[in-house]
Amino acid sequence: MIRNVVIGVLVLAVAGSGFWGYQEHKEKNAILINAENTYQRAFHDLSYQVDILQDKIGNTLAMNSRTSLSPALTDVWRITSEAQNDVGQLPLTLLPFNKTEEFLSNIGDFSYQTAVRDLEKEPLNDKEYARLESLYGQAGEIQKELRKVQYLVIKNNLRWMDVEMALASGKENTDNTIIDGFETVEKTVSGYSESQSGDPTFTSAKQENKNFQNIKGEVISKEEAIKKAKKYAKMTEPIEVKIEENGKGSKYGFYSISLVETKTNNEVDMDLTKKGGYPVWYINNRDIQNSKLDLSTASQKAVQFLKENDFESLDLFESAQYDHVGLFNFVTLQDGVRIYPDSVKIKIALDDGSVLGFSADDFFQSHKKRDIPKATLTAEEAKTKINQKVTIMEERKALIINDLDQEVLCYEFLGTINQDTYRIFINANSGREEKVEKLKNAEPVYENLL
Amino acid sequence: MKGISSKWKGVIATGLAVCCITFSDFHTEAFTSQVIQKGAVGDDVIELQARLQNIGYYHGKIDGVYGWGTYWALRNFQQKFGLPIDGLAGFATKKKLADASNFNAKFVHEQIQKGNEFTYYGGVDIEKQIKPNTNKKNTNTAGKTNTSTKQATKSNQKTNTASNLPAGYSQNDIQLLANAVYGESRGEPYIGQVAVAAVILNRLDSPSFPNTISGVIFEPGAFTAVADGQIWLTPNERAKEAVIDAINGWDPSGNAEYYFNPATATSKWIWTRPQIKQIGKHIFCH
């Protein structure tokens, strides 16, 4: 009797867990298929977008008039951005897949820059036309390879989840058509980008300049670097010092220094360039509990720090308070012109006015002696280029980097429309509206709104 | 528990009220001694905005953050009253402003705490300028504010209804970044966390990666914290500070676009990237 009951219970348990397992399995499969479909959609979408991209670039080659060329290039730009979006959804980050995305980005930049230009006044020159042709050729190659992969995926019923699994298990050298296919695509593209490096407009200037080429001075030793670091940190001995050199892959030489004040356990970390020993950044991660100083006193502390450390002619242009920390942004002021790319940021603790952080990355990358060009327009003439609805409140001259990555001299106007404030840059020579930005209003804290 | 907390609430609320009334009674004691500069936050800014609105210079929201709207309002006020036009509320400006305007601190702070929408123009019955917050939860927030004031011991420290944010980023962007940073590097030193945040931002600028924060963070396979769900842990304040530092331009990673933990990295490919430096357990590379 008891035996029968036990058997009955056990049978029920087995059947129950079997049923539960089956449910789980079904659910897992449903989710897997869902994820798989998302990948499939992104992939097929990508190959479709590259198809159209190639067609559209082909069309632009045959066009001559501005009225048709500008919209066509804008369309190319839109399609590249969609294709980039698709690439970002594929599980391929750890595969060398960047070149394809870079290629798309290149086409995007080029088509944007030419589409926004007044092609009536300044039509495509021979070099640009040649470049369009080469982009057309590359798009064709990529299209061919992608179609091949696509064909295999459909024919052999390949699943992206298998790629994921292969990546997750680290067995990348297993035979996997999708991975292999994409590696071919990638090789095709990188082959192109090497041959193009002679053309300076091809690689984005932003990337090229990240090596601090403008800084001057002798290479300093580790001991000198430590001495300099201690000067910035203003700590009392004894201090525990750690110093390391940059890795081999860095584009410039630097020392990473970490100082710990034994008495308080405060830690300061910073990077100094080997050449000249300039501080790239500096962080003191002390905890700040209260505010005793106001922002304006703190900004004077920041100015004082800059003076002590030989940063000359810097102009405070932005300040903000985050809890008990004041953040200040300075830019170079040369002959009354604000040089926006030269920016130095400083964090001041509002409890004792000490320097908590310092970032001069942008400054050292762009700072150099500049010959500021003469403005051919007067401020009054520039003002006429501004929308009538804007009430102008402030004006000055400024040097900025525009959409085309060029440094241009501008008149900067601060103006308002109703409650919003705008910063408007008008090119001081061409009168072009280089940049219009709506300045940020404070954002409500949503927790209080609920 | 509830009884105690509501009792405390009562005590603190009356305390605040008394404190506010004493403040509003004496005109000369308006404002603290600070020079209020653009970018400042806090009670002085609330008072500044309310006073400027009272005499019709400021038309924005009284939110305790000295933004552009407040700046232009103050400059217009300075111009009209023959003060140096610098947008700084120093001694002379504050005195002129306090003499020219009324400030009912109790009323203003009460509205802010209740989360009501309100204005504070002179010559209009103040009770008519309130649009009450219809959401019933507002008693909760008031309670929260009170407990935080209790901790801060200074009255009204946390009554701001808005906050300063780096240009181009919303609070939710920062929260998302903080989640990613916390999930990826909560055991790392502070600069390691700033560096992780900086890598995400460097990817935004890079042509090889998506162009949105969510695109970069949720790119399949990009971050292990996303793959294993650790991104949904609640980040601490430290992670958020690290994110704000990174957004404001601190980059301890040396412009890296990748990082990995050599002990757990499964991909062979990642070792082929040019390495810049190591912070904590992470190696940062181009």
- A318 neighbourhood in chain B, CB within 8 Å: 39
Q: Comparing A92-96, A232-236, A394-398, B134-138, which segment has the lowest mean pLDDT? A: B134-138
Provide the shortest C-alpha distance from residue A20 to chain B (in Å): 24
Name the amino acid, one letter, at A68.
Answer: S
Co-location of A355 and A383 in the same domain = no
Co-location of B11 and B143 in the same domain = yes
Cα separation of A184 and A141, whole Å? 11
Provide the shortest C-alpha distance from residue B283 to chain A (in Å): 9
Co-location of A15 and A61 in the same domain = yes
pLDDT (0 to 100) of residue A194:
41
User: B210 and chain A: CB distance < 8 Å anywhere?
Assistant: yes
Contact B210, B200 (CB under 8 A): no
- A267 neighbourhood in chain B, CB within 8 Å: 189-190
Q: Where residue B21 falls among pLDDT bands split at 50, 70, 90?
A: very low
Q: Where residue A13 falls among pLDDT bands split at 50, 70, 90?
A: very high
Give the Cα-Cα-Cα angle B164, B166, B168 (nearest 5 degrees).
125
Would B166 be classed as within a structural domain? no
Co-location of B145 and B179 in the same domain = no
Q: How far, in Å, are A101, A110, A195, A414, B257 from residue A134 at the CA level?
A: 17, 12, 11, 43, 28
pLDDT (0 to 100) of residue A314:
86
Directed axis angle between helix B171-185 and helix B190-205, to 10°? 120
User: Higher pLDDT residue, B28 or B52?
Assistant: B52
Please answer yes or no on whether A416 and B208 come within 8 Å at the CB atom.
Answer: no
From the centroid of its chain, how far is CA B88? Answer: 21
Cα separation of A274 and A255, whole Å? 6
Cα separation of A431 and A408, whole Å? 11
Query: Which chain A residue has its CA at the smallest distance from B89's CA?
Result: A296
Cα separation of A276 and A219, whole Å? 6
Average pLDDT, chain B: 76
Please answer yes or no on whether B219 and A93 come within 8 Å at the CB atom.
Answer: yes
Please answer yes or no on whether A295 and B40 come within 8 Å at the CB atom.
Answer: yes
Contact A331, B51 (CB under 8 A): no
Query: Which chain B residue has its CA at the smallest distance from A249's CA?
Result: B274
Q: How far, in Å, are A370, A420, B31 from residue B153 at the CA level?
A: 52, 36, 19
pLDDT (0 to 100) of residue A93:
52
Co-location of B213 and B116 in the same domain = no
Co-location of A240 and A386 in the same domain = no
Would A214 be classed as within a structural domain? no
For chain A, percent of residues with pLDDT exceeding 90? 6
Q: Mean of the pLDDT values across residues B230-255?
A: 88
Query: Which chain B residue has its CA at the smallest distance from A292's CA?
Result: B34
Q: How many distinct structural domains can be found in chain B?
A: 2
- A95 neighbourhood in chain B, CB within 8 Å: 269
Element (H, E) at A86: helix A66-89
Which tokens hold the place of A120? 């009536």
Co-location of B124 and B242 in the same domain = no
Cα separation of A327 and A360, whole Å? 14
Please answer yes or no on whether A269 and B252 come within 8 Å at the CB atom.
Answer: yes
Please answer yes or no on whether B267 and A172 come within 8 Å at the CB atom.
Answer: yes
Co-location of A192 and A49 in the same domain = yes
- A260 neighbourhood in chain B, CB within 8 Å: none
Which of A85, A102, A443 is facing B171, going by the closest CB pair?
A443
Q: Mean of the pLDDT values across residues A199-214?
A: 51
Please answer yes or no on whether B34 and A170 come within 8 Å at the CB atom.
Answer: no
Please answer yes or no on whether A89 and B245 come within 8 Å at the CB atom.
Answer: no
3-state secondary structure at position A113: helix
Query: Which chain A residue has its CA at the smallest distance from B71's CA?
Result: A421
Co-location of A348 and A272 in the same domain = yes
Would B159 be classed as within a structural domain? no
pLDDT (0 to 100) of residue B137:
44
CATH code of A387's domain: 3.10.450
Contact B53, B62 (CB under 8 A): yes
Co-location of A81 and A159 in the same domain = yes
Would B148 be classed as within a structural domain? yes
Q: Is the pLDDT of residue A433 over 50?
A: yes
Would B123 be classed as within a structural domain? yes
Q: How far, in Å, are A125, A178, A179, A180, A182 from residue A152 at the CA level?
A: 41, 8, 12, 11, 12
Would B157 be classed as within a structural domain? no
Q: Is the pLDDT of residue A298 over 80?
A: yes
The candidate with the shortest Cα–Cα distance to A395, out of A428, A420, A352, is A428
Q: How many beta-carbon pairs under 8 angstroms link A with B? A: 211
- A248 neighbourhood in chain B, CB within 8 Å: 274-275
Of A310, A337, A366, the residue at which a domain comes to its end is: A366
Co-location of B11 and B148 in the same domain = yes
Which of A249, A319, A345 is facing B38, going by the closest CB pair?
A319
Element (H, E) at A341: strand A337-349
Co-location of B186 and B279 in the same domain = yes
Co-location of A274 and A163 in the same domain = no
- A272 neighbourhood in chain B, CB within 8 Å: none
User: Higher pLDDT residue, B60 or B21?
Assistant: B60
Query: Which chain A residue has its CA at the smallest distance from B279's CA?
Result: A256
Co-location of B246 and B176 in the same domain = yes
- A419 neighbourhood in chain B, CB within 8 Å: 59-60, 69
Q: Comparing A152-166, A246-260, B147-161, B221-235, which segment has the lowest mean pLDDT? A: B147-161
Would B160 be classed as within a structural domain? no
Please answer yes or no on whether A416 and B163 come within 8 Å at the CB atom.
Answer: no
Co-location of B137 and B26 in the same domain = yes
Would A243 be classed as within a structural domain? yes
Please answer yes or no on whether B69 and A89 come within 8 Å at the CB atom.
Answer: no
Cα separation of B11 and B14, whole Å? 5
Co-location of A184 and A231 in the same domain = no
Please answer yes or no on whether B39 and A295 come within 8 Å at the CB atom.
Answer: yes
Cα separation of B168 and A170, whole Å? 38
- A357 neighbourhood in chain B, CB within 8 Å: 245, 250
CATH code of B245's domain: 1.10.10.2520
The candidate with the shortest Cα–Cα distance to B196, out of B229, B163, B235, B166, is B235
Would A208 be classed as within a structural domain? no
Give the Cα-Cα-Cα angle B81, A318, B235 (nearest 5 degrees).
125
Q: Are strands A391-401 and A337-349 parallel, antiparallel or unpaired?
A: parallel
DSSP structure string for chain B: -HHHHHHHHHHHHHHHHHHHHHHHH-GGG-S-SPPB-TT-BSHHHHHHHHHHHHTTS--S---SB--HHHHHHHHHHHHHTT---SS-B-HHHHHHHHHH----HHHHHHHHHHT-EE---TTS-GGGGEE----TTHHHHHHHHHHHHHHH-STTTT--SEE---TT--HHHHHHHHHHHHHHHTTS-HHHHHHHHHHHHHHHHSTTS-SSHHHHHTSTTT-HHHHTTGGGSPP-HHHHHHHHHHHTT--TTSS-SEEE-TTT---SGGGGSPEEEEETTEEEE-
Would B163 be classed as within a structural domain? no
Most confident listed range (A176-190, A225-239, A383-397): A383-397
- B71 neighbourhood in chain A, CB within 8 Å: 421
Co-location of B136 and B189 in the same domain = no
- B216 neighbourhood in chain A, CB within 8 Å: 88
Co-location of B115 and B45 in the same domain = yes
Sign of CA dihedral B266, B269, B270, B276: positive
Token pair 């700072």 is found at A367
Name the amino acid, one letter, at A219.
Answer: V
Provide the shortest C-alpha distance from residue B123 to chain A (in Å): 22
Residue A112's contacts (CB-CB under 8 Å, 6 or more residues apart) are A73, A74, A77, A403
For chain A, percent of residues with pLDDT exceeding 70? 86
CATH code of B34's domain: 1.10.101.10
Q: How far, in Å, are A316, B87, B102 from residue B72 at the CA level?
A: 18, 7, 20
Co-location of A392 and A264 in the same domain = no
Co-location of B93 and B212 in the same domain = no
Residue B178's contacts (CB-CB under 8 Å, 6 or more residues apart) are B235, B239, B240, B242, B243
Query: Which chain B residue has its CA at the smallest distance from A286's CA?
Result: B190
Token pair 């150099």 is found at A368
Q: Where residue B133 falls among pLDDT bands split at 50, 70, 90?
A: low
Co-location of A312 and A418 in the same domain = no
pLDDT (0 to 100) of residue B159:
47
The candidate with the shortest Cα–Cα distance to A258, out of A291, A290, A233, A224, is A233
Q: Mean of the pLDDT values across residues A330-336?
A: 87
Question: Which segments of A197-260 does DSSP mark as H helices, in order?
Answer: 205-208, 222-233
Co-location of B148 and B6 in the same domain = yes
- B195 neighbourhood in chain A, CB within 8 Å: none
Query: Which chain B residue has its CA at the smallest distance from A281's CA?
Result: B250
Cα separation of B266 and A266, whole Å? 36
User: B100 and chain A: CB distance < 8 Å anywhere?
Assistant: no
User: Higher pLDDT residue, B187 or A174?
Assistant: B187
pLDDT (0 to 100) of residue B23:
43
Cα separation of A126 and A146, whole Å? 30
Cα separation of B158 and B171, whole Å? 17
Co-location of A8 and A157 in the same domain = yes
Contact B2, A260 (CB under 8 A): no
Range 16-55 of B in CB contact (< 8 A) with A: 34-42
What would you measure as the largest C-alpha separation in chain A, in angstroms?
107
Q: Is the pLDDT of residue B17 over 50?
A: no
Best mutation site among B34, B36, B37 for testing chain A: the one with the most A CBs within 10 Å? B37
pLDDT (0 to 100) of residue B148:
37
User: B114 and chain A: CB distance < 8 Å anywhere?
Assistant: no
Of A340, A366, A392, the residue at which a domain comes to its end is: A366
Domain that holds residue A357: 222-366
User: Higher pLDDT residue, B26 or A100?
Assistant: A100
Sign of CA dihedral A363, A366, A369, A374: negative
Long-range contact list for B75-83, CB < 8 A, 24+ apart? B75/A393, B77/B52
pLDDT (0 to 100) of residue B157:
40
Q: Comparing A132-136, B40-44, B120-124, which segment has the lowest mean pLDDT? A: B120-124
pLDDT (0 to 100) of residue B198:
92
pLDDT (0 to 100) of residue B90:
85
Co-location of A33 and A145 in the same domain = yes
Cα separation of A255 and A271, whole Å? 6
pLDDT (0 to 100) of residue A167:
64
Please answer yes or no on whether A285 and B171 come within 8 Å at the CB atom.
Answer: no
Give the Cα-Cα-Cα angle A289, A293, A297 (nearest 5 degrees).
145
Question: Which segments of A238-360 does DSSP mark as H helices, in order?
Answer: 295-308
Q: Tens digit of pLDDT for each residue in B38-78?
A: 888 888 888 888 888 888 888 888 888 888 888 999 998 88
Q: How many distinct structural domains can be found in chain A?
A: 3
Cα separation of A210 and A197, whole Å? 17
Sign of CA dihedral A67, A72, A75, A80: negative
Which tokens hold the place of B99? 């003499």
Cα separation of B268 and B253, whole Å? 21
Which tokens hold the place of B285? 């590379």
pLDDT (0 to 100) of residue A87:
83
3-state secondary structure at position A328: strand
Would B216 be classed as within a structural domain? yes
Domain that holds residue B194: 171-285
Q: Is the pLDDT of residue B283 over 70?
A: yes
Which of A105, A343, A345 is facing B207, going by the closest CB pair?
A105
Of A343, A366, A389, the residue at which a domain comes to its end is: A366
Average pLDDT, chain A: 81
Q: Where residue B135 falls among pLDDT bands split at 50, 70, 90?
A: low
- A319 neighbourhood in chain B, CB within 8 Å: 37-39
Best mutation site among A36, A445, A447, A450 for testing chain B: the one with the most B CBs within 10 Å? A445
Which tokens hold the place of B75? 């400059």
Please answer yes or no on whether B274 and A246 come within 8 Å at the CB atom.
Answer: no
Please answer yes or no on whether A439 and B167 come within 8 Å at the CB atom.
Answer: yes
pTM of the model: 0.77
